[in-house]
Amino acid sequence: MSWLDRLKSGLTRSTSKLGDSLAGLATGSMPLDDARLDAIEEALIAADLGPAVAGRIRDRLADVKFAKGIDEAGLRAAVAAEVTAVMAPVAKALQVTAFPRPHVILVVGVNGSGKTTTIAKLARRFTEADYTVMLAAGDTFRAAAIAQLKIWAERIGVPVISGEQGADAAGLAFEALKAARAAGSDVLIIDTAGRLQNKAGLMDELAKMRRVIQKLSPAAPHDTVLVLDATTGQNALNQIEVFRDIAKVTGLVMTKLDGSARGGVLVAAAERFRLPIHAIGVGEGMDDLRPFTAEEFADALTGTS
């Protein structure tokens, strides 16, 4: 399957939810009255697009050009156009720009969000683009996270710096950056813990990690990427808010869109936070994480393509 076909397939549940919400709300040749516009707005909110985007779409549909009504295809197209308009400004692939190397990427997110596998998939994409990559197992709180990252690193053929469970995460990040510089690596991707039940401790750990790596590279980390699990729905918005404050998040990756009917929440996130969306994932395979493209996503979400 092509990536676009996989994206459409992965978003099937979200597309069905949006379609079910809009079902029966197209007016055919009948004008769109306020009651029908209100119902469409409520349906879009129910599909997780968020009140701001839903309100914008309502305003668009209220335009005089729809005074003679709108069929279902036209309604989906109008939603897709507004979703694209919201998301196009934040569709930004990760770029390796740091000089001197390495470009340091700090990856954050709650446990279970798909953080470790996302790191592996990002590393794979960088190596395919002829960059040399090193990984750092900075989630020293969980032995399973360290072991998992080692397995992924071996599979994709990149080195990983790790320590024992309970080791100082900041110290490990420092040693990883030294090793990456010595090896001439283009990219260093650092995993981190995701213990939101202890926000103060996590904030201190991430702040310390930043301080120590900046002793070697004052501009590092060059990106701080938050990995979100689409199946958490509206809770993803709460996670963005928390991690933006405690980790200085610079961009987003959303995983597990194939396992959720709540893909519309990514639209709400784009509207509310305006953070770059670097990539989305629609499966477990190494090729199932790709750079985010607004128009493709909008068309797949609304079923217009």
pLDDT per residue over 203-241, tens digit each? Answer: 889 999 999 999 999 999 999 999 999 988 889 999 999
Measure the CA–CA gap between 47 and 166, rounded to whole angstroms: 42
257 is annotated as contributing to ligand binding = yes
pLDDT digits (tens, 9 = 90+) for 132-149: 999 999 999 889 999 999
Profile the chain (305 residues) by mean pLDDT over runs of 10 residues.
83 88 79 86 91 91 73 88 95 96 96 91 96 96 92 96 92 97 98 80 89 96 96 91 91 91 92 97 86 94 85
The model carries a pTM of 0.93
Q: What percent of the chain has pLDDT over 90?
A: 60
Measure the CA–CA gap between 300 and 285, rounded to whole angstroms: 20
39 is annotated as contributing to ligand binding = no
24 is annotated as contributing to ligand binding = no
108 is annotated as contributing to ligand binding = no
193 is annotated as contributing to ligand binding = yes
198 is annotated as contributing to ligand binding = no
255 is annotated as contributing to ligand binding = yes
Q: Are the C-beta atoms of residues 234 and 48 closer than 8 Å to each other?
A: yes
Which are the contacts of 227, defined by CB distance < 8 A and separation ≥ 6? Answer: 107, 108, 109, 113, 114, 115, 118, 252, 253, 254, 255
- Sketch out the chain's domains with CATH numbers: 3-89 (1.20.120.140), 103-302 (3.40.50.300)
pLDDT at res. 260: 83
Token look-up 């409520």 returns: 42
130 is annotated as contributing to ligand binding = no
